């Protein structure tokens, strides 16, 4: 009896160890059970981690040094990182320009004359005290589901004099589909006691800074990181493995996407041997839809609803305003596919976006 009991105990311990070793996916009677999308707040680290079946997808970071919350990094369903590492996790061979381009973020360069876009301390020659800061205030909700997770957060847009000009409330929905990852961001900005003017500028707004391999091949000189993390000016670029190409819903490609309107723009290329499509989708209810695009070949990828004057050489202006206590809501989707999507496939994703987010 003692020997039988010992054998059973060892079996239970061994089985438990196996289950704990592979927590994200396991089989029961021929069926695969998954953990789904989990959203975990780590307040001491000022971050919220998002995982799919126990594997990292992205993190919401509200670090003081970034002066705005960001999603960093972004990964494909296979785990491949599609965002630039600099300045938070610098990698050899990537550009080290524009340190305010971090992962994925949403802010703007002219809010009552104050720049919330170029708002990091490391920008050369810029007095950070003249810049606005988006201050994270609270994680209001997290939710874990089989096919999606949710994160609701609040923030204040703080002027250089310390006053708050905008209250922000944002809901992120992180979706996991086969070979596809999606992030819906529904953000409401509410003016407080003062009217708020979003003066026309190209510097904004819903943006991603992408990995080197998703940039456009270029002959222009640039500043890059070497193997020791030092900055090196390169007069002639090596475009090996640089495969990015923009394409818009209106048929524009490459650098011709910049300054044009479109319902969506995708960036296709190959990252670490994986074909990738990275897209930003503009919701039909957004101000200025279809939005203008601040999409640069060096890796900045942004939807900008406000920058009409810069994008049209002064032919059109918007100067969008919020009256005191007035609100505006924006809805965007980031689409990350582990394949090169056709126009028809992107259109199908786009239609599903505004059904998922009415």
Q: How confident is the model over 11-61, as pLDDT tens digits?
A: 444 444 433 333 444 444 444 446 799 999 999 999 999 999 999 999 999
Buried b (16+ CB within 10 A) or exposed e, 211-242: bbbbbbeeeeebebbeeeeeeeeeeebeeeeb
**For residue 189, is it within any domain?**
yes
**For residue 316, is it within any domain?**
yes
Mean pLDDT over each residue of the chain, to the nearest integer: 90
Does the predicted model carry a pTM greater than 0.75?
Answer: yes
**For residue 80, is it within any domain?**
yes
Least confident of 1-5, 96-100, 109-113: 1-5
pLDDT for 123 equals 57
What is d(CA 166, CA 82) in angstroms, rounded to the nearest whole number? 31
pLDDT for 111 equals 98
Which domain range does residue 203 map to? Answer: 65-356
pLDDT for 133 equals 96
Top pLDDT among 7 and 308 is at 308
Strand partners, 143: 150
Phi, psi of 7 (to 5 degrees): -60, -45
**For residue 40, is it within any domain?**
no
Structure tokens at 299: 């890796």
Per-residue pLDDT band at 130 (split at 50, 70, 90): confident
**For residue 98, is it within any domain?**
yes
Q: Which helix (H) or strand (E) holds 301?
A: strand 300-304
Closest Cα to residue 206, out of 331, 85, 100? Answer: 331
Residues 50-93 have pLDDT tens digits of 999 999 999 999 999 999 999 999 999 999 999 999 999 999 99
Residues 210-225 have pLDDT tens digits of 999 999 998 888 877 7
pLDDT of 356 above 70: yes
**For residue 161, is it within any domain?**
yes
What is d(CA 279, CA 225) in angstroms, rounded to the nearest whole number? 26
**For residue 43, is it within any domain?**
no
**For residue 152, is it within any domain?**
yes
What is d(CA 274, CA 262) in angstroms, rounded to the nearest whole number? 27
User: What is the bridge-based pairing of β-strands 47-52 and 55-61?
Assistant: antiparallel
pLDDT for 122 equals 62
Q: How many domains does the chain divide into?
A: 1
């Amino acid at each position: 009896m003692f020997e039988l009991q010992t054998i059973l105990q060892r079996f239970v311990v061994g089985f438990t160890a196996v289950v704990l070793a592979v927590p994200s996916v396991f089989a029961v009677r021929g069926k695969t059970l998954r953990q789904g999308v989990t959203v975990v707040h780590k307040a001491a680290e000022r971050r919220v981690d998002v995982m799919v079946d126990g594997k990292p997808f992205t993190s919401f970071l509200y670090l003081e040094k970034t002066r705005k919350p960001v999603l960093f990094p972004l990964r494909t369903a296979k785990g491949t990182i599609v965002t630039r590492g600099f300045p938070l996790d610098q990698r050899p061979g990537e550009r080290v320009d524009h340190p305010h381009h971090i992962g994925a973020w949403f802010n703007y360069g002219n809010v009552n004359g104050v720049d919330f876009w170029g708002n990091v301390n490391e920008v050369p020659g810029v007095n950070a005290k003249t810049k606005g800061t988006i201050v994270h205030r609270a994680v209001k909700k997290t939710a874990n589901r089989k096919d999606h997770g949710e994160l609701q957060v609040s923030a204040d847009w703080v002027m250089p004099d310390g006053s708050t000009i905008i209250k922000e409330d944002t809901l992120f929905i992180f979706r996991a589909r086969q070979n596809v990852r999606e992030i819906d961001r529904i953000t409401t900005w509410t003016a407080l006691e003062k009217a708020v003017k979003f003066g026309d500028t190209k510097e904004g707004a819903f943006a991603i800074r992408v990995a080197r391999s998703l940039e456009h091949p270029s002959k222009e000189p640039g500043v890059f990181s070497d193997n020791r993390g030092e900055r090196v000016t390169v007069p002639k670029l090596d475009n090996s493995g640089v495969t990015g190409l923009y394409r818009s819903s209106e048929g524009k490609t490459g650098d011709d996407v910049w300054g044009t309107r479109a319902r969506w723009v995708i960036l296709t290329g190959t990252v670490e041997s994986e074909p990738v499509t990275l897209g930003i989708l503009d919701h039909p209810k957004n101000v200025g839809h279809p939005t203008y695009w601040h999409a640069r070949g060096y890796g900045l990828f942004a939807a900008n609803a406000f920058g009409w004057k810069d994008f049209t050489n002064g032919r059109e202006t918007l100067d969008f305003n919020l009256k005191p206590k007035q609100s505006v809501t924006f809805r965007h989707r980031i689409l990350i596919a582990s394949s090169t999507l056709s126009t028809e496939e992107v259109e199908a994703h786009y239609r599903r976006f505004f059904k998922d987010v009415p």
